[in-house]
């Protein structure tokens, strides 16, 4: 891995790295002054490079609608991201180039940022870091305003003297095995504080063959590139996930462990959480939520 940190001429450093792109550029930057980069974006499109850009939906970016439309017509994919509240933004400042280079820091790609104290870190050839940024880019790309709003919509627990939040968890009876072709579970609503003893089943008999297919792949030996793609597939499928019209905040599997001659530990292990509800969904619940599909 190679890392370069910059505090000056950041506009130049960004342009320089963009010009090197051969296959793809994924940009998630809150504010971009597009006329500073439009020629480079056009040259990349001419070279056959895919250019995807996510910015925040703000008056500053909206004022550039004419130029943005021109770039979209030229082949650049640009989206202004709407958040449920005006005080929230798609606030990232990163880019991934050719799935091998990450640009990240405080620097917005804007005229105003050129006159501020900012920083830019460029990371080369670090697959795990690259994968993390691509995951985040894909999450944002796959969510619209209403989906984000629904994913943020946890509620206060109704139990007396409890200050926890409730979330919807899709709980499968057991971890998927290679020879099982049907994966069944229930959607339960439980509290972050009293979830082991106070919960309700919203939907029963949920089946997701594609989800089973994704998780069953983890039983096989995968090379580094396949592992990265596997993680992206799961993340892409689960982001914004809903079932039977119910928003899913987390997904878990019932686990069974023998801890003695006559004792079995049964619990639910959470394997995925929506990014907006980390505080509302535990990593483990000491119950199987009465999910039983034998």
Query: 186 is written with which tokens?
Result: 């229930």
Which of the following is catalytic: 11, 93, 212, 273? 93
DSSP for residue 85: S
Alpha-carbon distance of 176 to 182, in angstroms, equals: 9
Reply yes or no on whether 91 is catalytic: yes
Q: Which of 6, 82, 98, 138 is catalytic?
A: 98
The set of long-range contacts for 199-203, using a CB threshold of 8 Å and a minimum separation of 24, is 199/287, 199/289, 201/289, 201/290, 202/168, 202/246, 203/243, 203/244, 203/246
H-helix segments, the chain: 10-19, 38-46, 59-62, 65-74, 127-142, 145-151, 209-216, 224-238
Q: Identify whether 265 is a catalytic site residue.
A: no
User: Pairing mode, if any, of strands 93-97 and 155-156?
Assistant: unpaired
Other beta carbons within 10 angstroms of residue 46's beta carbon come to 10
Q: Determine the Cα–Cα distance for residues 171 and 186; give it in Å rounded to an integer.
A: 5
Radius of gyration (C-alpha) of the chain in whole angstroms? 22
In angstroms, the CA 73 to CA 263 distance is 65
Tell me the C-alpha distance between 91 and 81, whole Å: 10
C-alpha 218/C-alpha 141 separation (Å) is 25
Catalytic residue among 20, 46, 63, 91: 91
Tell me whether residue 98 is one of the annotated catalytic residues: yes
Rounded Cα distance between 269 and 248, Å, is: 15
SS3 of 110, please?
Answer: coil
Residues with catalytic roles: 91, 93, 98
């Amino acid at each position: 891995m190679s890392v370069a940190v910059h505090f000056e001429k950041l506009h130049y450093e960004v342009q320089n790295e963009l010009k090197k792109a051969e296959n793809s550029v994924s940009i998630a930057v809150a504010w971009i002054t597009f006329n500073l980069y439009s020629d480079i974006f056009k040259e990349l499109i001419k070279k056959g490079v895919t250019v995807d850009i996510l910015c925040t939906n703000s008056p500053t970016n909206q004022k550039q609608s004419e130029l943005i439309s021109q770039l979209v017509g030229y082949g650049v994919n640009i989206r202004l991201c709407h958040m449920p509240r005006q005080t929230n933004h798609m606030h990232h400042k990163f880019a991934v180039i050719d799935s091998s280079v990450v640009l990240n820091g405080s620097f917005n790609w804007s005229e105003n940022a050129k006159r501020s104290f900012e920083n830019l870190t460029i990371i080369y050839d670090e697959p795990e870091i690259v994968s993390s940024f691509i995951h985040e880019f894909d999450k944002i790309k796959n969510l619209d305003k209403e989906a984000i709003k629904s994913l943020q919509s946890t509620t206060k627990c109704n139990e007396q003297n409890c200050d926890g939040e409730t979330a919807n968890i899709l709980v499968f009876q057991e971890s998927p095995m290679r020879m099982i072709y049907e994966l069944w579970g229930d959607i339960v609503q439980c509290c972050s504080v009293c979830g082991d003893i106070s919960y309700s089943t919203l939907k029963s008999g949920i089946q997701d063959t594609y989800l089973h297919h994704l998780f069953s792949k983890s039983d096989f030996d995968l090379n580094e590139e396949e592992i990265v793609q596997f993680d992206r597939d799961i993340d892409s499928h689960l982001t914004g996930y809903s079932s039977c019209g119910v928003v899913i905040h987390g997904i878990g599997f019932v686990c069974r462990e023998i801890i003695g001659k006559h004792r079995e530990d049964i619990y639910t292990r959470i394997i995925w959480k929506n990014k907006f509800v980390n505080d509302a969904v535990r990593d483990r619940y000491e119950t199987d939520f009465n999910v039983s599909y034998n």
